[in-house]
Amino acid sequence: MSKAKQLHELQEIDLDIERKTKTLAQIRSHLGKDDDLVAARAALDTALKHQIDLEHQQRTAEWGVDELGTKIAAEEKKLYDGSVKNPRELMSLQHEIELIKGHHGEREEQLLAVMLKVDTAQQDVTSKQSELKAMERDWQEEQKQLSMEQTELEANLATLAQKRESLRSLIDSVSLKAYDELRYVKQGLAVAKLVQGRCQGCRISLPMSDQQKARMGHKLATCSNCGRILYMD
Ligand SMILES: [Zn+2]
């Protein structure tokens, strides 16, 4: 294998390591991250408190209606059982019953309005509960998937690191130094392919002398424009 080919192979491994390391970091940042679930649980909690509050209001309203109903029954009993005989008193009793009936009707309307609100609140809680359940299921599935990907990437990276080391051990230190320095200054691309006389690193057509050097392969040839190490298949 020519030196340029070895360096190109090394570069492929280095680029692969970079990509996989980046992906692994993304996966690690997603593992255990459950902000959305926490927010959904908080929303459900708020909806439940609202429901409980409304149910309490409903019970209070029911008691109010019952109380007035009992009062009306008691007053009407007085009206008909003959215990009040004075016509003026009877008139005033009748008037009072009408007043209470008016209140009773108002309370019943208020009760109905609260019952509707309770109904809406219960539906809201139910839908938030099933949303949360679905989210939790998805989250667990996603975490399982991410954790599997993490394990796989870690294994791949370990293999790549071994490959990298054994390949580097085959290359002389001067070439390695040139490669490492070029990779640093050329954003990771130290070795460029030469395709149809054109450097794939800078896209410039090279003079025949450069192409010739790259073709020979026994010494490292570099692009006279961008300085990258040239590699031919
Ligand atoms: Zn070039």
Q: State how far the alpha carbon of 230 is from the alpha carbons of 41, 71, 191, 220, 226, in Å.
A: 58, 102, 6, 7, 10
Structure confidence at residue 112 (pLDDT):
98
The angle subtended at Cα 21 by Cα 165 and Cα 192, nearest 5°, is 65
Whether residue 59 is predicted with pLDDT greater than 90 in this model: the reply is: yes
Structure confidence at residue 131 (pLDDT):
97
Centroid of ligand 1 to alpha carbon of 176 (angstroms): 19
Whether residue 233 is predicted with pLDDT greater than 90 in this model: the reply is: no
CATH 1.10.287 residue ranges of the chain are 31-170
Centroid of ligand 1 to alpha carbon of 183 (angstroms): 13
**Which pair of tokens denotes residue 24?**
């692994």
Q: How far is CA 71 from the centre of its chain?
A: 58
Centroid of ligand 1 to alpha carbon of 222 (angstroms): 8
- Rounded Cα distance between 64 and 96, Å, is 17
Cβ within 8 Å of residue 72, ≥6 positions away: 97, 100, 101, 104
- What's the pLDDT tens digit per position in 112-137? 999 999 999 999 999 999 999 999 99
With contact defined as beta carbons under 8 Å apart, do 181 and 173 qualify? no
The CATH number assigned to the domain with range 31-170 reads: 1.10.287
Cβ within 8 Å of residue 65, ≥6 positions away: 104, 107, 108, 111
Centroid of ligand 1 to alpha carbon of 202 (angstroms): 4
Whether residue 1 is predicted with pLDDT greater than 80 in this model: the reply is: no
Q: State how far the alpha carbon of 231 is from the alpha carbons of 10, 36, 174, in Å.
A: 12, 49, 17
User: With bands split at pLDDT 50, 70 and 90, how would you rate the model's confidence at 84?
Assistant: confident
- What's the pLDDT tens digit per position in 28-40? 999 999 999 999 9
Q: Among the listed ranges 50-64, 83-97, 132-146, which one has the minimum average pLDDT value?
A: 83-97
Cβ within 8 Å of residue 93, ≥6 positions away: 75, 78, 79, 84
Whether residue 11 is predicted with pLDDT greater than 90 in this model: the reply is: yes
* Tokens 């429901």, residue located: 51
Strands 191-195 and 198-199: antiparallel
